[in-house]
Every structure is written in C-alpha cells, then in structure tokens.
Amino acid sequence: MAGGGADLWDSGRVGSDQSFDVAYAGKPLGSRQRCWWTVEVWDEAGEQLAAPPPNWWEMGLLEPGDWTAAWLAVEGEEEREDRLAGLNWIWGDPPDAEPARRFRFCFELADAAEDAVLYIAGRDRLLSAHIDGGAIALPAWERNAFGRAGAAELRLGRLGAGTHTLASEVRLSRNATRLPPGRGAFAALLKLRHADGRVSRLASGPGWRTALDAAEDWTRPGFDDAAWAAARPAAIDPGQPLPPTPARLFRRDFALGKPVERARLYITALGAYEAFINGQRVGDGRLAPESTNFRKRALYRAHDVTTLLRHGANAIGAHVGDGWYASVVAPGGRYAFGPPPRRLRAQLEVVFADGSTAVVRTDGDWRIGSSPVLTSEIYDGEIWDARAEQPGWSAPGFDASGWPQARSATAPPCALVAETAPPIRPTMTLEPRTISEPRPGVFVFDFGQNFAGVCRLHVKGKAGDRVELRFAEILKADGEVDQANLRAAKARDIYILKGDPAGETFEPSFTYHGFRYVEVEGFPGTPTLEALEGVVLHSDLPIAGDLGIEQPLIGRLWRNSLWSQRSNFTGIPTDCPQRDERLGWLGDACVFWDAAAFNMDVYAFTARFTDDMRDAQTEAGAFSDYAPPAMRAGDEPAPGWADAGVVLPWTAWMRSGNTSVIDRNWDAIVRYLGYLEAANPDHLWRNKRGLDFGDWLALDAKQPGDPTTPKDLIGSAWWAHSAGLAAEMAAVIGRTDEAERFAALREQIAQAFQSTYVRADGGVGNDSQTGYILALQFGLVPEALREAAVERLVADIDRRDGALSTGFLGTPFALDVLADAGRAALVYDLLLRTEFPSWGYMAAKGATTIWERWNGDVGDVAMNSFNHYALGAVTGFLFRRIAGIAPAAPGFKQVAIRPVLDPRVKRGGGAFRSVLGPISTEWEQGEHGVVRLTALIPPNAQARVHLPARPGQRVQDDAGEPVAELARTPDEVIVEIGSGRSGLQVG
C-alpha cells in the first residue's frame, strides 16, 4: 500500500452507508501473511475525509502442515507406568441398583512392599475401604461434589509378603448428580514399592469381585466371595481420576546471528502454559489455552516476540501445569481428553532483517526441569515451593545439563485453532479493606468485592515457612472463611518460602478462585493490608457500556452484574467462578447475553464460544446443556439452555451487525431446529427435553428444577423464539427459503401454543408468572388477549405483595413485558424493592455480585453461589429501556430511545460503544414530568425517540425550534433524530 495502491483487495469507492459487515473479497490469504489495510471515507457532501494511516493484521497458521514443532511430553517413567496400569473404572450388574455395591480383591505378594499407596475413587460416593479387614480412613467426602472428587491417595505403609485383601463399598444414589452418566463406578490402583526399589502396581479390573448384598463380615480376609460376580468395565467415559501432578519447565538455548526484523511465537499446551524468552514473560495472558473440548480442538496463540529477542545467545522456556485440560473435576476427570497433560507445542519463527528466516521449535533438543509448582489444579489451587525455584531458568547461559532431554509425543487427535478472543489476563488490582484475626495466627482479609482471580502475597520469613491462603465468598459466624458452598473445590493456595531476606512475592500460575475473603494461615508475623493484593482475572473483553442512572439500587444492580460478568468470562462463559463447577452452562449464557453484550464487546468471544457449542452438538442436532463438555454431554436439548445455540449468534449479530457469526453457525442452527421438529411434529416441545431444567430456581419451586411453570409450555415458547430468530438470521444472510420456512415454523408453534396454553380469558398455562412472561415476550399471546394476560400477571405479582416468583428463564424478561404493557410504576416498584425476593434485597444484604438464587443469604449451601450472573440478565433491560439505548436494527444502525420513566428516578442515561461509534443518552425529569433528553447518535445511524407527552405538549430542540413529530399517542410523542448530538425537550 506504500505506493497508494492495494495489491490484495481494492473495493473501490462504494456509494453506500454500509460501514460494517463488509466481507473481504480479495485474493485468498495464506498462513502468516501480513495484510495492510485502510478505509477511505467520503461524507454526505462528497468531501473525502483524511484516511487513517494503514494498519495491519496477520494470518495465523491455517494448515496443520504449518506446524513443524513436535509435541513434547514430560511424563516421568513412574507417572507413565501409573497411567498405563490405570485407575480403571469398574462396576457390576445390575448397573443401577441402589444404594451400595461392594468390591473385593485378593492378591498375593511374593515379597513385602516397604511402602504401599492406594489410589481409590468411587462414583458417586466411596463409602469405605479396607485392607486385610481393617478400615482405612478416608478423606472427608464432599456431599455435593458436582464433578465428583478425584481419587483419594491413601498411604497404607508396609505390606508383608503373603495374601492380602482389599475391600471397598461404593454408594450409588441417583439424585446425587443430575448429569449423565449417572451410573456408578469404582476405581483403585495399588502401588507397591519393594525393598529392591522395584515398583509394582495392581489395578482395578476383572480380578475384582463385586456384589450388592453381603454378610456382615464381607471385608474380612478369607471371606468366601465365590458367589460374587467378576467386575466389568464401568459404562462411563474413560478419564482417570489420578491426582494432579507437578508443573514442569521446558527450555532450550538458541543463537541468532543476525538482526531480527520480526518474530512470532505460536504456542499451545495440553494443560496451561506460561512462555518466557530470555527471562521475560511472553504476553500477560493467564491459564492459556482456554477450556475447550480437547478431543476436538485446542487453542493456540500467536505472540509478537520481536522485542524479546537479541543478537547472539537467546533462550526460550515454558512453564506448563495441568490447566483446564487435566482438571480433576472437569467433570470428566483427569485424562478425560486422552493424552496425559502437560504437553507442549511451540514454534518460534524469526524473520531477519535480510529476509532470511529461522525456526526454533519444540523438539528433542529441549530439556525438562522441575518446577516450584508441586501441584496445580483449577478448583483446588496451587502449591508453590519457592525453595525449588531455579533462578534464570529461561535466560541464556543457565546450566540445564542436569535436566533430562524432552521426549516427543504423538500429536493429540484435536485440531489446533487460533484463539481469536481476548486472553484471560489481570485487569485490575484490588486492595484488601480490612484484616481480622478470628483465631490466633489466622488472619482474614476482606477485599470488599466478590471477584474471580488470584491473590498476590508479599511475605518475609524463613525458608520452609508455609503460608496457606483459603478463599471464600462468605464468612462463618466465628469470622473464619466459609467454604461450604464451594463443595469439592478446595480453593486454597500454599506458598513455601525460600527465605529471601529482601522478602518474596507469590502469585499462582495455574489456578484461580472466586472470592471476597482470604484466610491466611502460617504467615510469619502479623500481616498488614499490604501483604495481599487481589488480582482480577478474566477474558479481557473491551468494556462497551456505561450506565448512568441516578438511583443507588439500580446502579448497584448494574455494577453487580458487571462484576459477575467479569468473574465468569474466563475463556468460556461460566456459571460461577468458585465452586466445583465453573462450566459453560448454556442457559445462563442464553439469558444473560443481552446484558453481556451491553457491558462488553462480546463479538469475538461469542464467535469463539459458538465453536464450543457446535463441538458439543450431538450428531442428531441437539445443542447441549453446557459447553465444552469434558464428558459425554446430554443427548437431548433442554429448553432455554440448548437455545443458546441460536440466541448467542443472534445477539452477537444484532449488536455488531456482523453476519459472519451467523454463517459460522447456520448449519448447526438448522440442524437443531430440524431435530426439535422431527421430535415434536405437533409443534409443542413435548418430547426430548433432556434434563429439562425448567424455570430453574424459580421461587415457586421447592427443589431446583421442580415444575413450576409447565415445562412443555416453557419448551414450546423457547422453540417459537428460536425459530423466529432463525428466520431473521436466514433473511439477512440471503437464505430466503429458509427464512420463510422458519417464519412459518414459528407461526405453527405459536398457533399450537395458543390453542394449548392460552385461554379465552387471557390466562396462560397454570397462571405462573413465567408462563405469562414467556408467552408475552415471545409474542405468543394473541393481540386481543395481551392486556388481559398482563392484568393476570400483574395480579399475581400483587398477590405476592409485589414480588416476582420467577427463575432463570422468566426473570430476564419480566420488566420488558411490563414496560411494553405500559406498567412503568410496577417496573420501578420491582427495581427499587428491597424486601425478599428482589435484586434490591441482594444489594441490601451487601451483595457485590449477583447471587445464584434469590435467597442466597439463607439458601441451601450446596447450590448457593454468590456470583452467578443469570438473575442479573435484567441489566440488558436497564440499558435498553431505562437508559434508552436499544438496537432497533443490526449494529445499532437504528436506535430505539424509549426510556421507561417514573417520578422516583429523576435522571438517567447511558453510553455504549457501538461499531458505528459512541451512542449516549441523558434524560432528566423536571417539575411536572417535563423531560429533557440529549442523545449522541453515530454516523450512518439514526434514532427514533419516544418521549412522554400530554396532548398539547410539543417537542423542541436545543435552540427552542419545534421538532417534527413522527407519531403521537395520548401519552407519548415520537420523533426521529440523526447522527450527532441532539437535545430535545418536551413542554
């Protein structure tokens, strides 16, 4: 472009106001290609504006053959033997018998084992384990371990030569998990170290015998188990629950003999990696690669490392831990994805100033060293022994002669795909507000804000001092942290000091926690507030929205939902950041995306996450309950959860105007809707609703998932909604036939819905609030009955003294439905309410994030996250209908400014960085409800403004000139404004 021309693509001057969603139509692009671009713009007067200086993007590694680097494995011989021997899942028949199944295994030792370790796991609960008739103490079992605890590691001590008997009992309770496969499984691996140094292993398998009922003394050596059956492999996903392993360091030296023009590092791992060049950290990303279904894809990143390289001696290193890939409660268990964790693939490509190139790739010349990270686990935390640090390990000249040579491993069967969403990185540092000492030597730091991330610890002490940090969202009555609601997640980091007299700093590499409080034990001396910093970690999406509503409760609600979004956008959109779950639950995302896409620019994140949703889609077309799944996902789609497969692409398109997210997902959407139709020929979603969560955590439910609103009604409403969105998307990508087909499908579902659930008096379903809300929001109530349906909804809210009874699926649309029906006062009643249940109740109880359940303060601890964004989805409404910034056409080309007003809130507005440019609103109510509104509308966009006006009142602009009215009703006037800043006043 230096010469003023374009060699790849020149669109020429196009007379159009289309300033987004312009697809590249030039020459095909290849791997590593750098592409320069600029845009020339002419204004409405034909005047050319100054073109921005050319900028560039670069292509990634597009073909598998671009990767010439080997995958390196770190597994030591002993770890490898453990894995090959296997913690194999076994079970017996009948598979679903409850409650307890027993196992026995007799074995002979020719020579004594000086040391015996038993790894043992049971699903869903290991009740007991016995060696030679004696009970072995088991670690406390987490009753609600969602992903099920990993294997217990039990030290049995010495086992003499001769016959031994292992016995164990596993309980299967069907209710303990809602996730398939719900069947039982048992696994054990006995590892024996003999006097001559030999290690032998005995693994669960057909040699074990199993029975349901047994006499009292079934654990006794010599008990006659001849009538018991031989165990068979359990019918669950493979995955071995082996305990987490130490991280590893990888390094190699290399020399560069010429000046470097540019250099790129392409890197990924099965696990999590941090890369270093010449002792400097490459980038500031954390916990990469992000969670995916590693059977199908792993994400790599390209880093510009030009400035890290030097002439002469260089070194490259990588620190690799277990990461998401190997997390025990993923919930498929460790090795759920196949190859063992901590494998690394890296390719450093250097272009010299003279045009020649060099590549440094992972290969047999790399060496592997031990890391100070003794174990790391996403949910459990990290143990860092600073005495084992190896200063200078990633700088040139480090003596790694004692480090073993790396082995190359077979490539995992997944595709390597460029991560195109922003990295997880530190975005803020928080200071603790207070410290207390509930028990001598135990200090509790309060950050005053619930968030996801890690703590940076500053400490001075002796080598070997051990500081433990325990993370929690809440405190117990005695002032210590309460981790009960974290279920099986241990959420603790341990730092063992090296004894640096200058002091030392620890920040874990391969874990994160969701917390407000940190309990510190073992701190040498008395810590001050400076001992800890809170490091906020999340996928660093650009902030897009700002809400300026002058009402403390509404402001709090928005900030709480923004904090919950920060806490849960961690590579994937998780349900919660703290307990043993942290999964990409699709129902939560489905309802929250409206809000999410106001708070942040979610386009790249959505596009990438839809890959995970498609990876999780079944052959038959069902979207899953969560993505990515580490284990087999449910076979059938759940209403409101699976629909994220349609709603997320639609939302990302609507907000950005970019249709490529539709193209990317179109086939999957068609397959999904086809699946539902094939299963439900009468156009009510009666069949195949999978785990069917319903209006999850609705207040009229006793247990999560109880039917409150009929589930076929919920399903049919969502199906109609998805079909409608699909019709809109088909139309915009030029698939006219499919647009008609889906519009007709939506109509058929709507008809079936009306004749089945809507009564002549406007009643809907069983009169639950969510029944009304979904039917009204998704346009399923005939026009003539809408008012009657709204009346009935309002009557139910009144009957409950002004409270909603809704859960995940109904709550997000409650205010929209009321606002559309002109019930502004009730909208504000609900927003400003502080009694239970309400958003204000959470705020009044000190919430700094959105709670999972309305009654978070007293709810069942097993299902009680304080940082779950679903109920905060109403933030979308705050932007659209209180600030008045709603997209009325894709990309905000048309903006609907239609703020719902109430005398209790005098001023409001907001701002949003749209693809066309900044949009903002500011309104003010004066005496007698006079409204003044200022709006900023970007180029190539216009807005329709609805303002309350009594008959006779007129709209004027800033200069006092009358503004042309587009339409008028008895209580409002509608005007149109164009690009730029406009001031309007009704009077």
Torsion angle of C-alpha atoms 821, 827, 830, 831, degrees rounded to 10: 150
Collect all residues with Cβ–Cβ distance below 8 Å to 453 and sequence separation of at least 6: 426, 512, 513, 534, 535, 536, 537, 538
Active-site residue among 480, 581, 636, 922?
Answer: 581
Nearer to ligand BGC, 250 or 569 (CB): 569
Are the C-beta atoms of residues 302 and 265 closer than 8 Å to each other? yes
Rounded Cα distance, 38 and 59, in Å: 17
Q: How far is the CB of 667 from ligand BGC (least distance, A)?
A: 26
Nearer to ligand BGC, 168 or 864 (CB): 864
Q: How far is the CB of 586 from ligand BGC (least distance, A)?
A: 8
Nearer to ligand BGC, 870 or 977 (CB): 870
Q: Is 581 designated active site? A: yes
Q: How far is the CB of 896 from ligand BGC (least distance, A)?
A: 30
Q: How far is the CB of 329 from ligand BGC (least distance, A)?
A: 13
Nearer to ligand BGC, 513 or 868 (CB): 868
Q: How far is the CB of 626 from ligand BGC (least distance, A)?
A: 7
Q: Contact positions toward ligand BGC, by CB under 6 A?
A: 575-576, 581, 585, 587-588, 693, 696, 868
Q: What angle do CA 862, 868, 873 make, to 5 degrees?
A: 140
* Rg of the Cα atoms in the chain: 30
Nearer to ligand BGC, 317 or 573 (CB): 573
- Which pair of structure tokens corresponds to residue 499? 């004894």
Nearer to ligand BGC, 435 or 862 (CB): 862
Rounded Cα distance, 173 and 335, in Å: 25
Active-site residue among 75, 507, 852, 922?
Answer: 852
Distance from chain centroid for Cα 825:
36
Are the C-beta atoms of residues 112 and 195 closer than 8 Å to each other? yes
Give the torsion sign (CA, 865, 871, 873, 877). negative
Torsion angle of C-alpha atoms 392, 396, 401, 406, degrees rounded to 10: 100
CA distances (Å), origin 548, targets 58, 359, 848: 38, 52, 18
Nearer to ligand BGC, 862 or 936 (CB): 862
Which residues, in sequence order, are bridge partners of residue 360? 348
Q: Name which of 126, 119, 186, 125 is nearest 156 in CA terms.
A: 119
Q: Name which of 299, 298, 320, 309 is nearest 264 in CA terms.
A: 309
Q: What angle do CA 458, 460, 461 make, to 5 degrees?
A: 140
Nearer to ligand BGC, 471 or 585 (CB): 585
Q: Is 40 designated active site? A: no
Which residues, in sequence order, are bridge partners of residue 313? 255
Q: How far is the CB of 513 from ligand BGC (least distance, A)?
A: 17
Q: How far is the CB of 572 from ligand BGC (least distance, A)?
A: 13
Evaluate the omega torsion of the peptide bond into residue 438 and state whether it is cis, within 30 degrees of 0: no
Q: How far is the CB of 515 from ligand BGC (least distance, A)?
A: 17
Listed in order, strand segments (DSSP E) in 215-288 are 229-230, 232-233, 248-256, 260-270, 272-277, 280-281
* 442-459/532-539 β-pairing: antiparallel
Nearer to ligand BGC, 705 or 837 (CB): 705
Burial of 185 (0-12, 13-18, 19+ CB in 10 A): buried
Q: How far is the CB of 693 from ligand BGC (least distance, A)?
A: 4
Nearer to ligand BGC, 587 or 891 (CB): 587
Q: How far is the CB of 32 from ligand BGC (least distance, A)?
A: 41
Are the C-beta atoms of residues 886 and 911 closer than 8 Å to each other? no
Are the C-beta atoms of residues 90 and 208 closer than 8 Å to each other? yes
Active site residues: 581, 852
